[in-house]
Amino acid sequence: MAIVAQSSKLSNVLWPVLAWIVGLLFFFPIFWMVLTSFKTDADAVKSEYLLWFTPTLENYLNMTENYDYWRFARNSVITSVFATIFTLVVSIPAAYAMAFNPTKRTKDVLMWMLSTKMLPAAAVLYPMTFLTKSLGLFDTHFMIILVLSLINLPIVIWMLFTYFKEIPKDIIEAGKMDGVDTLGEIKEILIPLAWGGIASTALLCFIFCWNEAYWTVRLTTTDAATLSKLIEGNRAPEGLFFGRLSAVSTAAVGPIVVLGWFCQKQLVQGLTFGAVK
Amino acid sequence: MGRIQLENVTKSFGDVEVIPPLNLTIEDGEFAVFVGPSGCGKSTLLRLIAGLEETTSGKVIIDDENMTEVPPSKRGLAMVFQSYALYPHMTVRKNIAFPMRMAGVDEDEQEKRIAAAANALNLTDYLDRKPGQLSGGQRQRVAIGRAIVRDPSAFLFDEPLSNLDAALRVGMRLEISEMHNRMQTTMIYVTHDQVEAMTMADKIVVLQAGVIEQVGSPLELYHKPRNKFVAGFIGSPKMNFISGDEAAKQGAHTIGLRPEHTEVSTTEGLWKGVVGVAEHLGSDTFIHVHDTGLAETFTVRITGDIAVRHGDTVYLTPQAEQIHKFDTDGLRIV
């Protein structure tokens, strides 16, 4: 008994300490980035101003005045929101069909979907660019929304499929007996029941869209350019301006961090959905 | 109306045929019970009628209309599931209202029917609770309420009482029987419990491996089982089967004798044996007799009490007119 009590006391101390160390380790780069964003480009590279420096808003003012931050931010919001909506509209029925009316090939279809994620993006860079340009869709919101949706579909369908599998089949069948058609089953029964799972999947999808850089950088110039493009654009040829770059990066990740913060409860609820029946 | 006919219905899952060609008619207003051991296809058969499973071939006819290709939502049937299958995100009121809302019943009428159903099922005080806050029995009442308000042409019950404790099961059994007497609507009830089948049914359908072994009224099945399987399945405790010389004397391969159709004496009788276990219930006594030379254990049921204990010698005498005879194929010899 004494040993058990002692070891549990030890783990009571050990685990939080370990968690804090890991947490700080993950947080440090972000902290560093935010700190640097308040330094001038000159101060940013000087070791004597590592922690003690005179903070300045110069980088932020510069960003909004000269780099049209709000346009990039607006594009990020538009493409991420619509891509998430479009992805959900396609994935909910797809995951529903596979979860409640599986066939012998359902597992294969799921694997095939996931396998598309194994394709390196660079492998289709040329055909994608060519296609986009020849269809006249280069640098359009439509194209970015489409690309972001297609990239995230497999993972979103997988996640929703896992959540939907947790819903007892009887409840869906009860719906059928109660006179509901397929659309009604999804709207009246499935979505309200899997709300936590759908919300956390949507949030994750939104975060992926927001952070996507490979295609948003390559398929846009100005009109549909997102915050990723803005960051990329600040890699100036004459050298790295760390202060400016940090400010842009901070402003790019800021909204998503705030969103994640507010949706924490929803995220956790969604991720533990299977445990609550 | 609620007359249900199955014509040459079959069902296969992949290469496995779970229901070979099957024909069955359930008349309007009848209480039919599908009974059989687990895996006999009784639930599958019910789901075929409901439309939740597609038939591999054959026809499902409801009120003279071919419904084989019609989706479950359009068949006009209501189903009560073993797991209750209530909508956990809705209150009891909304659960019961759901099928009416889907059918576009106007709200005043909905309220009226909810009130009537809740009253009949003692749910009035629970209408604003969620299913998670109810006991098993109450949840099953809600499920029944949800079925009633639709005014279906037939009710389908898929082992509705299996998840309830014994006392509640007896109570609910009575309630469902009373409901049937009152409404006179066709009901099809699936169970593996032969007591439920015997007590509730107008017509029992005994199934084994997807094949109908016998269809008949409870007493028909009890008195004239068509084969050994039905004889052994219907009745509690189970019928005793005796093969060999004793059967040959009766001109049969096997003879069957129900526990209640055997006299017990401590002094004289046809067969001699030793009491293994004697279960004294007060109203009845079940005696499990060993070393009779007839079967490993021979079970006897007598009304009232008899003073026998483990190790006592007893004598058994069958009631000659109650002996069931079966041939080598297990079929009844008339």
pLDDT digit string (tens) for B61-94? 999 999 999 999 899 999 999 999 999 999 999 9
Strands B313-318 and B262-265: antiparallel
Does B4-225 carry CATH code 3.40.50.300?
yes
**Every domain of chain A and the residues it spans:** 2-37, 69-275
Type of residue numbered B222: Y
Which pTM value belongs to this model?
A: 0.83
Per-residue confidence (pLDDT) for residue A6, from 0 to 100: 63
In a 3-state reduction of DSSP, which class is residue A146?
Answer: helix
* CATH placement of domain A69-275: 1.10.3720.10
> Which segments of chain B belong to CATH 3.40.50.300?
4-225
Q: Any idea which fold B237-326 has?
A: OB fold (Dihydrolipoamide Acetyltransferase, E2P) (2.40.50)
> Please, which residues 119-148 of chain A have a Cβ atom closer than 8 Å to chain B?
none
Contacts of B247 (CB under 8 A, 6+ apart): B253, B254, B255, B325
Whether the CB-CB separation of B199 and B161 falls below 8 Å is answered with: no
Average pLDDT, chain A: 88
Interface test with A, best of B62, B74, B87, B91 (most A CBs within 10 A): B87
Which residues in chain B are closer than 8 Å to A179, comparing Cβ atoms?
73-74, 99, 102-103, 150
In sequence order, the β-bridge partners of residue A181 are none
Task: Give residue-wise pLDDT tens across range A76-118.
Answer: 999 999 999 999 999 999 999 999 999 989 999 999 998 988 9
Q: Which of A138-147, A169-178, A232-241 has the lowest mean pLDDT?
A: A232-241
Q: How far apart are CA B46 and CA A228, in angstroms?
A: 58
pLDDT band at A18 (very low <50, low <70, confident <90, very high): very high
Cα four-point dihedral sign B196, B198, B203, B208: positive
A164-169 contacts at long range (C-beta below 8 A, 24 or more positions apart): A164/A95, A164/A96, A164/A99, A164/A100, A164/A190, A164/A194, A164/A197, A165/A99, A166/A197, A166/A273, A166/A274, A166/A277, A167/A99, A167/A193, A167/A194, A168/B83, A168/B85, A169/A100
> Which of A180, A188, A189 is opposite residue B73, by nearest beta carbon?
A180
Helix or strand (DSSP H, E) at B226: none
Per-residue confidence (pLDDT) for residue A48, from 0 to 100: 78
The phi and psi torsions of A254 (rounded to 5 degrees) equal -50, -55
Question: With an 8 Å Cβ cutoff, is A189 touching chain B?
Answer: yes
Question: With an 8 Å Cβ cutoff, is A173 touching chain B?
Answer: yes
pLDDT band at A277 (very low <50, low <70, confident <90, very high): very low
Per-residue confidence (pLDDT) for residue A234, from 0 to 100: 79
Q: Which residue has the tokens 């901070």?
A: A250
Helix or strand (DSSP H, E) at B256: strand B254-257
Q: Please report the number of interchain residue pairs, chain A to chain B, with beta-carbon separation below 8 angstroms.
A: 61
In a 3-state reduction of DSSP, which class is residue B274?
Answer: strand
CA dist A223 to A136, A142, A149, A232, Å?
Answer: 13, 11, 19, 15
Name the stretches of chain B with pLDDT < 50.
none
Residue of B nearest to A100 (CA): B52
Which residues in chain B are closer than 8 Å to A178, comparing Cβ atoms?
73, 78, 98-99, 102, 146, 150
In a 3-state reduction of DSSP, which class is residue B245?
Answer: helix
> Which of B204, B172, B235 minimizes the C-alpha distance to B34?
B204
> Which of B199, B152, B213 minimizes the C-alpha distance to B1?
B152
Omega before B237 within 30 of 0, i.e. cis: yes
Counting every residue written for chain B, the total comes to 334
Contacts of B100 (CB under 8 A, 6+ apart): B109, B110, B113, B149, B150
Alpha helices in chain B (DSSP H): 42-50, 92-103, 107-120, 136-148, 166-183, 194-200, 218-223, 228-233, 245-249
- Global ipTM: 0.87
Question: With an 8 Å Cβ cutoff, is A168 touching chain B?
Answer: yes
Residue of A nearest to B145 (CA): A178
> Please, which residues 115-174 of chain B have a Cβ atom closer than 8 Å to chain A?
146, 150, 156
Whether residue B79 and residue A180 make contact (CB cut-off 8 A), yes or no, is: no
Whether the CB-CB separation of A153 and A205 falls below 8 Å is answered with: no
> Which of B14, B85, B88 is opposite residue A173, by nearest beta carbon?
B85
B191 vs A195 pLDDT, higher one: B191
Per-residue confidence (pLDDT) for residue B193, from 0 to 100: 92
Per-residue confidence (pLDDT) for residue A270, from 0 to 100: 59
Per-residue confidence (pLDDT) for residue A276, from 0 to 100: 37
Task: Give residue-wise pLDDT tens across range A22-69.
Answer: 999 999 999 999 999 998 888 888 877 777 788 888 889 888 888 888
- b/e burial code for range A194-232 (CB count within 10 A of at least 16 → b): bbbbbbbbbbbbbbbbbbbeebbbbbbeeebbbbbbbbe
In a 3-state reduction of DSSP, which class is residue A243?
Answer: helix
Question: With an 8 Å Cβ cutoff, is B13 touching chain A?
Answer: no
Q: How far apart are CA B158 and CA A23, in angstroms?
A: 52
Per-residue confidence (pLDDT) for residue A275, from 0 to 100: 40
Q: Which residue has the tokens 């992805």?
A: A87
Per-residue confidence (pLDDT) for residue B287, from 0 to 100: 95
Whether residue A177 and residue B87 make contact (CB cut-off 8 A), yes or no, is: no
Indicate whether A274 pLDDT > 60: no
> Which of A168, A180, A188 is opposite residue B85, by nearest beta carbon?
A168
Q: How far apart are CA B272 and CA B290, in angstroms?
A: 9
Task: Give residue-wise pLDDT tens across range A216-256.
Answer: 999 998 899 999 998 888 776 666 788 888 998 999 988 88
Residue of B nearest to A176 (CA): B73
Per-residue confidence (pLDDT) for residue A64, from 0 to 100: 84
Distance from CA of B223 to the nearest CA of A (A): 38
> Please, which residues 69-98 of chain A have a Cβ atom closer than 8 Å to chain B?
none
Task: Give residue-wise pLDDT tens across range B200-259.
Answer: 999 999 999 999 999 999 999 999 999 999 999 999 899 999 998 889 999 999 999 999
> Which segments of chain B belong to CATH 2.40.50.140?
237-326
Per-residue tokens: A207 = 């975060």
